[in-house]
Amino acid sequence: MPIPRILFAVPLIAAGVLLPAAGAALQAPATGAIGMDHEVFTQDAVTIKQGQTLTLTNNSRWIHIIGLGKGGRIQDSNPAVPIDYRRLMEENTSYTSGKWETPGTYFITCSVHPLMTVKVVVEKCDCCGGGGC
């Protein structure tokens, strides 16, 4: 009698769910970086000044595919947003964007975890001329 395929599928699915959580503790994100836990960013919003960069750090063992957008839907690139579509895993845990030059409100999301979105507010900087602080 053949073995039902479900007997192979269930253990593989369980291993995929449980194995990323196993292992030594990961380091916390550096000061000023936005951390990424399993299904959430470690903060809901961040405010930066025009001309600053933004660092995102995967402090979990789960894959995150991040980009401009909301609700897990990554949008096409926007010249005002210096963040590229990125895949962050345990091997490449940190990403620093280019300089945010255009003031406004933007959203970064994870296509793997649809509830994972962070609001980025870029404030205009008039202190030094040329729009950069």
Please give the CATH number for the structural domain made up of 27-123.
2.60.40.420
d(CA 106, CA 57): 18
pLDDT of residue 52: 94
pLDDT (tens digit, 9 = 90+) per residue, 50-99? 999 999 998 888 888 899 999 999 988 888 889 877 877 766 788 899 99
What sign does the CA torsion over 86, 90, 92, 96 have?
positive
d(CA 128, CA 91): 38
pLDDT (tens digit, 9 = 90+) per residue, 34-45? 999 888 999 999
- Residue spans of the domains in the chain: they are 27-123
| Model confidence band, residue 19 (pLDDT cutoffs 50, 70, 90) | low
